[in-house]
Chains A and B, each alone.
Chain A
Amino acid sequence: MGQFILRRLGVMLLTALCLTFIVFYLTNLYPNLEKLAKTQANNRMTDEEVVKWLDTRGYTQNVFVKYGEWLGVLPSKVTTTEQGTFTRCSRPTILPEEAPAFCGVLQGNFGFSTVFKDEVSSIIGTRLSLTGYLMLWVMLVMVPGALVVGVLAGMKEGSRTDRTLSTFSIITTATPEYVSGVIFIAVFASSAVGLRWFKGTATSAMDAATFENFFLPVITIALYGLGYIARMTRASMTEVMTAQYIRTARLKGVSFGNIVMKHALRNALIAPFTVIMLQFPWLLNGVVIVETIFNYKGFGWTLVEAAGNNDIELLLGVSVVSVFVVLLTQLISDIGYVYLNPRIRVS
């Protein structure tokens, strides 16, 4: 088991390095840098001025060197010109002369956001906690809901309950967040329909989340994932219900409720666990869409802002965090699967 986890961690680290390098390469392509120079300094710069601006700030180095600097394994380049000294470690509050030599991700330094004029790490920290709160409620609604729907549907395959609930799950998986969000706002929050039960924006939920301003974003994300997990649970449940030991229990005269609760449920919940874990990358998508629709300024909203405004350092920081969330959930799902399922032994 220990060796298995170590090997998985190794692969995970390699994947993380590759992914961050790809993101780094794509965000540091010359057209992006040119746009950055023009937005930061002067929109009417000539091509030579752009190159000079980028050169003094170390942007024109080899991409591997730049990546090493960003990662924090290479010292960042210090350029001294008549306009002053430049290094990627300096900030408005830290003079270039006093800046440390290494300032990369490994030192906990994610860079400086050009849009929000703040440390990337502190922006991500606050935004991530807001999104974490949203995700917590999504999970609290989605997981129990999906498991109940899935187990009820899978209990008796082909029954009326099964068909009704399966249709429900199909409908929710066919409704992406930007469709359900729009429909919910139009029905429950617009003056055109006039119900006005909930608020159409969740901006106020960032300070004080109430049922009125937080329910719609939560249910919008939860519904899309709910159908998928419910279908997986149903498939797993129907498989367990046809197993030999369930038939033995039935023939022994155990009541149906007892069979479901005591014999089938535990084995049926192994597969959904993996699915729920692997659902995180999808939820990340949902979070970006829903935070944009409901104007909830969390992690996903930051991603859109960073990408839309060419904020390279912030976009890199956001990517690192999301890639690590995805890889971590994959690891947990692998280990959890082995741990929960005694039939699988990793040696």
Chain B
Amino acid sequence: MEPLTWTGILSPLNYALLLATLVLAVGVVTQLITALFATDEPLVVNRDGTLAAQGGFRGLTNEIVRWSFLAIVGVIVAYIVGGVILGRDAGILGAVSQRFLPVWIALIVTFSLSMTFKRNLGLYGKLFDSPVGMIGFGLVMFWVFTAAFEGFFGIISTHEALEQLVRMKNEAPGSPVEGVDPDAGYYSHYLLGGDNLARDVFSRMVSGSVIVILIAPFATIFAFMVGITLGLPAGYYGGRLDTILSFFANLILAFPVILLFYLLVTPEIRQTGIPTYMAAVLFLFPIIFFGILIHSKFRTRPEINTPLLVGVLGVLSIVYLSTINQEGTPIDFLGFIDLFDIAGGILTVFVSVVFVNSPTVFRIVRGLALDIKTRDYVAAAQTRGEGPFYIMLWEILPNARGPLIVDFCLRIGYTTILLGTLGFFGLGLPPESPDWGATINEGRKLLSVYPHPAIVPAVALLSLVLGLNLLADGLREQSLKD
């Protein structure tokens, strides 16, 4: 079989893409240079009283930039649509975009539903007014859907993540699969090439997304639980509690992250059980958080309070105990009640990432609480005789949600980078794990000869983090407009 080219019969589009990119680059540079010297854009008052900016040279460059950008987007859409229809005839890009077909459908459904009802969806709906936010949201949802379809159904990847087809070692992208029985049901090509151990780079990238999408948001949520549970009292009460907690937060923040990882995520440390003990402490915070959250609200209505508390805390405690209870670690007493086990490596990685992130969240929440506690509605609640925890969780926290949501998006990105760093240094997850950091680390050894095994996960990680940052930027822009 012939090896695939990058774009197959859609290759005429390449010239269009090249041309549009060149025009865009020249346009943007011209824009930057002219903006340095130009004065304010001259405005013209129309007869009906409206204002219009005059075109001129700057107007022309603005138009050129706009249209060339739209052209690039158009060409990319053409690649994707053409690829979905033509498949392998449209080269590697075509075959890849055909594999992602379920993701495209899910994306289109999400976007069209959200666009239709955007006026009723609050801040989420406003996101669809900002192009930057939409691009970010699209990138993030692309990876979320990829991880979901791959994790639940396994329909995106072409091969198994650990499957080695010996003849495919270090093969270039688009190489046809050789040396296997043609009737064995293997996909006909290694779309993005083979790595040093003859595994399919594309499939590993796709299955790596499952690990990243699973760990990064959850670790961030836990870090937020810890940071909020400690930061609100520190900011609200102040005084000695604040001094002590801030000292500890600064202590952790003064550690260079990589040093902390090297100290916490080694097999020797895992033997001593320190990560398990840390998990036991850190995972306690969600239980405390939800307990106080419910109790402070329904304190005066025991007929709701008691069943709700028993139900929520009961479920959380069982999950908590099953999480920290692991065979072969110092905490192992549950026996048959232990519902599930998390592979040791993942738990260690999870704990250290939460540990590194929570002090920063603590500082942000503390700062917000310090600011908000001087507001009138807090004083009103105090006069009403509300308890301090009601004020913190039901008055201060909802009013701090804007900055917290923005920081949440940014922090998921940062957590993704941290996970990649861990993988890059070969810490935590097993070496054959397809997560992006570990794959980059493995690929970089032969980087100057075979760049594709490292480039593919690198670009994947870049696009996810970029999407999260753009999403955060769009959210910030929209929440400031309120």
Interface presence of A208 (CB below 8 A): no
Interface presence of A147 (CB below 8 A): no
Interface presence of A176 (CB below 8 A): yes
Question: With A31-B269, A183-B458 as given contacts, are A322 and B256 in contact (CB-CB < 8 Å)?
Answer: yes
Q: How far is the CB of A28 from chain B (nearest CB, A)?
A: 11
**A170 B469 Cβ-Cβ under 8 A:** yes
B259 closest partner in A (C-beta) = A319
**A26 B448 Cβ-Cβ under 8 A:** no
**B473 A30 Cβ-Cβ under 8 A:** no
> Which of A67-75, A84-92, A190-198 contacts its partner?
A190-198
The interface residues of chain B, by DSSP majority, are classed as helix
Give which listed residue, B39, B259, B420, B449, contacts A178 with CB less than 8 A.
B420
Interface presence of A131 (CB below 8 A): no
Q: Which of A180-228 contact B (CB under 8 A)?
A: 182-183, 185-186, 189-193, 200
**A18 B251 Cβ-Cβ under 8 A:** yes
B257 to chain A: which residues have CB within 8 Å? 281, 285
**B449 A191 Cβ-Cβ under 8 A:** yes
> Which of B28-36, B294-302, B385-393 contacts its partner?
B28-36
Q: How far is the CB of B133 from chain A (nearest CB, A)?
A: 12
**A183 B32 Cβ-Cβ under 8 A:** no
**A29 B449 Cβ-Cβ under 8 A:** no
Alpha-carbon distance A288/B257, docked complex (angstroms) = 10
**B254 A281 Cβ-Cβ under 8 A:** yes
Q: List 8 A-B contacts (CB under 8 A).
A: A152-B36, A178-B441, A183-B455, A192-B451, A281-B257, A289-B421, A304-B425, A315-B262
Alpha-carbon distance A256/B54, docked complex (angstroms) = 21
**B420 A176 Cβ-Cβ under 8 A:** yes
Alpha-carbon distance A86/B449, docked complex (angstroms) = 51
Question: With A30-B272, A161-B32, A327-B254 as given contacts, are A176 and B447 in contact (CB-CB < 8 Å)?
Answer: no
**A185 B447 Cβ-Cβ under 8 A:** yes
**A288 B258 Cβ-Cβ under 8 A:** yes
B447 to chain A: which residues have CB within 8 Å? 182, 185-186, 190, 200
A29 to chain B: which residues have CB within 8 Å? 268-269, 272, 274
**A174 B449 Cβ-Cβ under 8 A:** no
Interface presence of B84 (CB below 8 A): no
Interface presence of B444 (CB below 8 A): yes
**A179 B462 Cβ-Cβ under 8 A:** yes
Alpha-carbon distance A315/B262, docked complex (angstroms) = 10
Interface presence of A173 (CB below 8 A): yes
Alpha-carbon distance A166/B425, docked complex (angstroms) = 31
A189 to chain B: which residues have CB within 8 Å? 448
Q: How far is the CB of B435 from chain A (nearest CB, A)?
A: 13
**B458 A179 Cβ-Cβ under 8 A:** yes
Q: How far is the CB of B127 from chain A (nearest CB, A)?
A: 16
Interface presence of A23 (CB below 8 A): yes
B421 to chain A: which residues have CB within 8 Å? 176, 178, 285, 289
**Chain A positions 6 through 45: 1 when the CB is less than 8 Å from some CB of chain B, otherwise 0:** 0000010001001100010011011110010000000000
Interface centre among A32, A160, A200, A303 (most CB of B within 10 A): A160
Alpha-carbon distance A35/B443, docked complex (angstroms) = 29
A residues sitting closer than 8 Å to B (CB atoms) are 11, 15, 18-19, 23, 26-27, 29-32, 35, 152, 159-161, 164-167, 170-171, 173-176, 178-179, 182-183, 185-186, 189-193, 200, 256, 281, 284-285, 288-289, 292-293, 300, 303-304, 307, 310, 315, 318-319, 322-323, 326-327, 330
Interface size grouping (class) on chain B: 35 or more
B104 to chain A: which residues have CB within 8 Å? none
Q: How far is the CB of B14 from chain A (nearest CB, A)?
A: 17
Alpha-carbon distance A11/B257, docked complex (angstroms) = 21
Question: With A176-B465, A183-B458, A307-B262 as given contacts, are A31 and B268 in contact (CB-CB < 8 Å)?
Answer: yes
Give which listed residue, B35, B62, B258, B454, contacts A186 with CB less than 8 A.
B454
Question: With A35-B268, A164-B31, A170-B470 as given contacts, are A185 and B448 in contact (CB-CB < 8 Å)?
Answer: yes
Give which listed residue, B448, B462, B469, contacts A191 with CB less than 8 A.
B448
Give which listed residue, A182, A307, A326, contacts B458 with CB less than 8 A.
A182
Alpha-carbon distance A173/B271, docked complex (angstroms) = 36
Interface centre among A23, A29, A300 (most CB of B within 10 A): A29
**A174 B254 Cβ-Cβ under 8 A:** no
Alpha-carbon distance A258/B448, docked complex (angstroms) = 49
Give which listed residue, B31, B251, B448, contacts A161 with CB less than 8 A.
B31
Alpha-carbon distance A327/B250, docked complex (angstroms) = 10
Question: With A32-B268, A186-B454 as given contacts, are A323 and B462 in contact (CB-CB < 8 Å)?
Answer: no
A-B contacts besides A182-B458, A289-B424, A292-B424, 15 pairs, CB < 8 Å: A15-B247, A31-B269, A161-B35, A166-B473, A174-B413, A176-B420, A178-B421, A178-B441, A182-B451, A190-B449, A200-B447, A285-B256, A289-B421, A304-B425, A315-B262
